[in-house]
Structure 1
Amino acid sequence: MTAARLISVNVGQPRDVELNGEIKQTAIFKDPVPGRVKVVDHHVDGDRQADQVNHAGVHKAVYAYAREDLDFWAAELGREIEDGFVGENLTITGYDVSHAVVGERWRVGGVEFEVAQPRIPCWKLGVRAGDKSMTRRFELALRPGAYLRVVAEGEVGAGDTVEVLSRPEHGFTVADASRIFHRDRAEAARLLAVDELAPPLKQWARKRLGLELEEEGG
């Protein structure tokens, strides 16, 4: 069995794009960078998110996606798909990122990460793909990738081994969380039982269960 490894570190800066006649900002366009790259202060050096509320912070410090899932999208879209296509910072091969257990810890190069939650797609995926249906297709495919917390800072680079250091016994995966959020909402209570799951999804589950009032504006 081939060891899981990092094949690309991808970064990007916010840029203007047009959506339905409006100018919006996104940093989903990310390109591979050479050499060793620092992961400090809850982000990959050289990378910045346009939306600091929904796409950044401790629980969404770094986004990882499997090359095998990118190959799935290449077949679906009928074209070549480059590393970084879904806005991931870390493109990994040899490991099923979308079925990582929430709370499991990885060592990649000199950095220790913890799996925090799945990617919940938005309009930016459609812009990146040049296909407005991409966001919905991403939801249905249940290949969300994983947002990671940074447990120990350091450097990463293409070729680094991805080592799973520990895995919670609950076995609840990011794909499970994605499935419940997008489809099987009657199972929302399961999200509250996963201590390591990022707070926003737990908040969504509490609202879904009527445990707290909906925020104004939804």
Structure 2
Amino acid sequence: MNNSNILSINVGTPQQLQYNNKQVMSGIYKMQVDEPLFLSFLNLEGDEQADLKHHGGKDKAICVYAHEHYPYWENLLGRTLGLGAFGENLTIQGWIEKDLCIGDVFKFGEATVQISQPRQPCYKLSARYNAPDIPVKMQESGNTGFYLRVLQEGYVKRQDGLTLLTPHPKGITLAFANQIMHLDKENSEGIKRILEVDALSSSWRATFEKRLNGLETDTSERLRGQF
């Protein structure tokens, strides 16, 4: 399938959250918007992030989450969830992580966007739902969502949907990347395959390069110990 419906476009500004007896700022609360918005290289018009070290920026201009995962979380949390429940900018229907690859390029209204990495779930999700295990559950399930970088700016609206323009030739799915990042951490061949993707975000590239270096160092030391 070359198209996906967008059920909602969600934007918001940082608000205070209570977490572990501390006040933290987060942009996880979003409001649905139906009018056209300008999508820049950094974010959607009206959207802001509180922690610019881990969120936002050119590699993470848009956060996307599949509505197909909502029943899993509603069952786990014991509540009905509205669209944008995970702080995503786009709630989509039709694609999940196994269907999409890092580097895939899409048409989105006047804009052109590209998948840069799976979402890295953080504790702000735990704070919103008072459920400490959400990040781990998200990693283990693979239901993480993903980030888009913007290749061409322009106005976008919900009715535009996402249209696949160019599948990335390496074919590294988001599901595979999540598996290697969170579960099969010592799979050096898998890491090398992911690092071959030129469109991989700088943060995930740095993490995998560091991990691969550690694995190769350990292997070299074990080999030296045999002689």
TM-score computed with the length of structure 1 as normaliser: 0.90
Partners of 1:167 and 1:123 in 2: CA distance = 32
Tell me how far 1:167 sits from its aligned partner: 0.4
Contact 2:97–2:173 (CA under 8 A) maintained in structure 1? no
Which structure 2 residue ranges, 5 or more long, are not aligned? 215-227
**Could you tell me which residue of structure 1 aligns to residue 203 of structure 2?**
200
**Could you tell me which residue of structure 2 aligns to residue 214 of structure 1?**
none
**Could you tell me which residue of structure 2 aligns to residue 39 of structure 1?**
39
**Could you tell me which residue of structure 1 aligns to residue 218 of structure 2?**
none
Partners of 2:205 and 2:193 in 1: CA distance = 9
**Could you tell me which residue of structure 2 aligns to residue 169 of structure 1?**
169
Flag the structure with higher helix content.
Answer: 2
Partners of 1:205 and 1:25 in 2: CA distance = 29
Where do residues 80-95 of structure 1 align in structure 2 (5 Å cutoff)? 80-95=80-95
**Could you tell me which residue of structure 2 aligns to residue 216 of structure 1?**
none
The answer on 1:54 being equivalent to 2:57 is: no
SS of 1:178 mapped into structure 2: helix
**Could you tell me which residue of structure 1 aligns to residue 117 of structure 2?**
117
Moved more, 21-30 or 92-101: 92-101
**Could you tell me which residue of structure 2 aligns to residue 190 of structure 1?**
193
Partners of 2:21 and 2:78 in 1: CA distance = 27
Where do residues 150-169 of structure 1 align in structure 2 (5 Å cutoff)? 150-169=150-169
Q: Which has the larger radius of gyration?
A: 2
Partners of 1:175 and 1:50 in 2: CA distance = 27
Contact 2:41–2:151 (CA under 8 A) maintained in structure 1? no
For 1:193, the aligned partner's letter is E
Partners of 1:73 and 1:111 in 2: CA distance = 31
Contact 1:85–1:128 (CA under 8 A) maintained in structure 2? no
Contact 1:98–1:145 (CA under 8 A) maintained in structure 2? no
Q: Report Cα offsets for 1:47-105 as digits up to 9, x if no partner.
A: 00001111011100111111112233223323211111111101111222564110001
Where do residues 71-150 of structure 1 align in structure 2 (5 Å cutoff)? 71-97=71-97, 99-150=99-150
Contact 2:41–2:149 (CA under 8 A) maintained in structure 1? no
Identity among equivalent positions (%) equals 33
- Structure 1 98/118 Cα, relative in aligned 2: closer, same or farther at 3 Å? farther
Partners of 1:122 and 1:183 in 2: CA distance = 17
Tell me how far 1:191 sits from its aligned partner: 2.5
Tell me how far 1:126 sits from its aligned partner: 0.7
Q: Report Cα offsets for 1:146-195 as digits up to 9, x if no partner.
A: 10000111122222232100101211012211111111112233322221
- Structure 1 3/168 Cα, relative in aligned 2: closer, same or farther at 3 Å? closer
**Could you tell me which residue of structure 2 aligns to residue 215 of structure 1?**
none
Partners of 1:98 and 1:77 in 2: CA distance = 24
Number of corresponding residues: 212
Tell me how far 1:197 sits from its aligned partner: 0.7
Partners of 1:2 and 1:167 in 2: CA distance = 10
- Structure 1 176/2 Cα, relative in aligned 2: closer, same or farther at 3 Å? closer
TM-score computed with the length of structure 2 as normaliser: 0.87
Partners of 2:164 and 2:158 in 1: CA distance = 17
Root-mean-square deviation over aligned CA pairs: 1.9
